[in-house]
Chain A
Amino acid sequence: MDPWTFWLGGSLALGGGLLTVTRKNAVASVLWLIVAFLGMSTLFLGMDAGFIGVLQILVYAGAIMILFLFVIMLLNLTPSGLLRMDRPRGTTLGLASAAAFIALIVAIVTGGQQWTGGQGGGSEAAILERTGEASMLEGSVLDIADQLFNAHLLPFEAASVLLLVAIVGAVALTKRKL
């Protein structure tokens, strides 16, 4: 990846994420989260994964965040109603899960050398050497469709059934009388 793309996308994603959790105004948090998604999309585009990068914007920034915004605007959340940082249990749980996540990242980066081929990450040459196939790295629509609908059809369908269950559950919870 072009280093400029990396630093631009990375700083947008991290800076946006940091501002998302520190803003007191819920609408401002949503906006910074969109900035973070745009940064992640930049990173994907920099890795020649155009399809994932575009979906990142289309699904997360364009659809899911607008639903967030809709709910926040509908409930008209005020900053005072959101400030509940004084709960000790919530703070402890949050710190614990953050620590667990960081531990996971550290374990992958440092301990997983055999997984990354032992030569500093998943470069194209390293993965080609390890698996003997290069086509998986192409981020084009055709390659991803081929992977989803041929190689990984069962997990893909299982995931869609899971989403369907979630939709049915949501409808069942909100509608008392069906």
Chain B
Amino acid sequence: MHTLLAATAADSEGFFAWLNALFVEQTWPRALLIVIVVGLTVPGLVSALVWAERRGSALIQDRLGPNRCGPFGMFQSFADLAKFLFKEDVIPGHVNKPIYLLAPAIAVIPPLVALAFVPFGANVFIADVDTGILAAFAVTSLHVYAISLGGWASNSKFPLLGGVRASAQMISYEIALGLSALGVFIIVGDLRLISVVEMQTDGWMIGAGETLRSAGDWTRLFDWNIFKQPLGALIFMIAGFAETNRHPFDMPEAESELAAGFHAEYSSMKFALFFLGEYAAMVVFSSLFVVLYLGGWTLFGLENVLSDWVTSYGAENAGWINWASVAEGFLHVGIFFSKTLVLLLFFIWVRWTLPRFRYDQLMRLGWVRLLPLSLAWLVVTVIGVAIVRGL
């Protein structure tokens, strides 16, 4: 949090220096600006994802999906939102009221806070913390309380079963998630997520001093960690599906077994908050996957095409806003966001393609398969890094 708090002194006084601080340098007003932008973008992105989910499921199942509200039914999510807002907000008489009201709030807050640790571009991030991925994991690990407490506080059979399932499932897969991500950090030697991205432009041989190839050379694709850590990336992906309660691991709400599971007793906007939380958690997990394994904001050198312009523009227009730097920020965020969007569509594709696991299969996969596999892969990674670095 040091970067967040320690305001960089602007070079010159005045309004333009302040504007420059807002758009270009790492200062707290800039971090606040990004907080506001991210906080407003994610709910909009979620409504777009809900539309994509419904149209995608229809495509896969040979239906049409929502097609009445706007072109291709694109405004359906807004209609849904209006319905959520104006429906009667029922609080059943048998619930534990304080915890019942608390659970939907917990569903939304951790995923949104976790985005504070994700670097969207070389200079576009909210907080560059020393503990990096651990901080992000710590915040997302609190997400499970929404489901368990919501299920418990509802005080009826199916929600309780959903809540109990959620708590056991999240704990089981959190271990595999952490262990699989550890391989990346052994290669990088740093927990900071910005270092992880920068390391992925450093050549295929784990920082062995290979000279950088020219910008736009597609073979730089192989610098990405997914090629250095294929099995780790696979385990991280599977565990991430389980952590976000997405199909094929959506045990806590399994419609065919538990009605709607943990949110069976929730209506109108409180149900919508659970929904928002689930999709926001998907966004967080996809962003983390992009940072850890898919090179973050880098795209085989394309992210650096503006760097000469940034330097020259900054030199020519001292005391003015460095618009070149702002453009570079947008380029980085655009690359990052495109990768994240591909992963989010992958989430949707998987949901409507694979059947759901049985609960005992889920537990066996987590403890008997993924946990030993991720430990073995960790040993392989350590040996590989030791050989390459000549230790």
A interface, CB within 8 angstroms of B: 25, 27-28, 31, 34, 45, 50-51, 54-55, 57-58, 61-63, 66-67, 69-70, 73-74, 76, 140-141
Contact = CB atoms under 8 A, between A and B. Distances in A.
B6 to A, nearest CB: 13
Nearest to A45: B1
25 contacts: A25-B96, A27-B149, A27-B152, A28-B99, A31-B99, A50-B129, A50-B130, A55-B134, A55-B138, A57-B138, A57-B142, A58-B137, A62-B138, A62-B141, A63-B141, A63-B171, A66-B171, A69-B145, A69-B149, A69-B167, A70-B164, A70-B168, A73-B152, A76-B160, A141-B130
Contacts of B171: 63, 66-67, 70
B363 to A, nearest CB: 13
Contacts of A57: 138-139, 141-142
Given A54-B131, A61-B138, 17 more contacts: A27-B96, A27-B152, A31-B99, A31-B102, A50-B130, A51-B130, A57-B138, A57-B142, A62-B144, A69-B145, A69-B152, A70-B164, A73-B148, A73-B151, A73-B163, A73-B167, A74-B164
B290 interface: no
Interface residues of B, number: 29
Query: What 4 A-B pairs come out closest when comparing CB atoms?
Result: A62-B141, A58-B138, A57-B138, A70-B167
Contacts of A51: 130-131, 134
Interface of B: 1, 96, 99, 102, 129-131, 134-135, 137-139, 141-142, 144-145, 148-149, 151-152, 160, 163-164, 167-168, 170-171, 174, 191
A54 B137 CA distance: 9
Contacts of B129: 50
B365 to A, nearest CB: 19
B142 A62 contact: yes
A63 B174 contact: yes
A58 B164 contact: no
Contacts, number: 77
Contacts of B174: 62-63
Contacts of B131: 50-51, 54, 141
A74 B152 CA distance: 10
Nearest to A76: B160
A51 B133 CA distance: 11
Nearest to A25: B96
A19 to B, nearest CB: 12
A140 B1 CA distance: 12
Given A27-B152, A50-B129, A50-B131, A34 B145 contact: yes
A131 to B, nearest CB: 23
A58 B134 contact: yes
B148 A70 contact: yes
A66 B148 contact: yes
Nearest to B164: A73
Given A27-B99, A51-B131, A61-B142, A69 B137 contact: no
Instruction: Point out which of A34, A45, A54, A67 has the most chain B C-beta atoms below 10 A from its C-beta.
Output: A54
Contacts of A140: 130
A50 B131 CA distance: 7
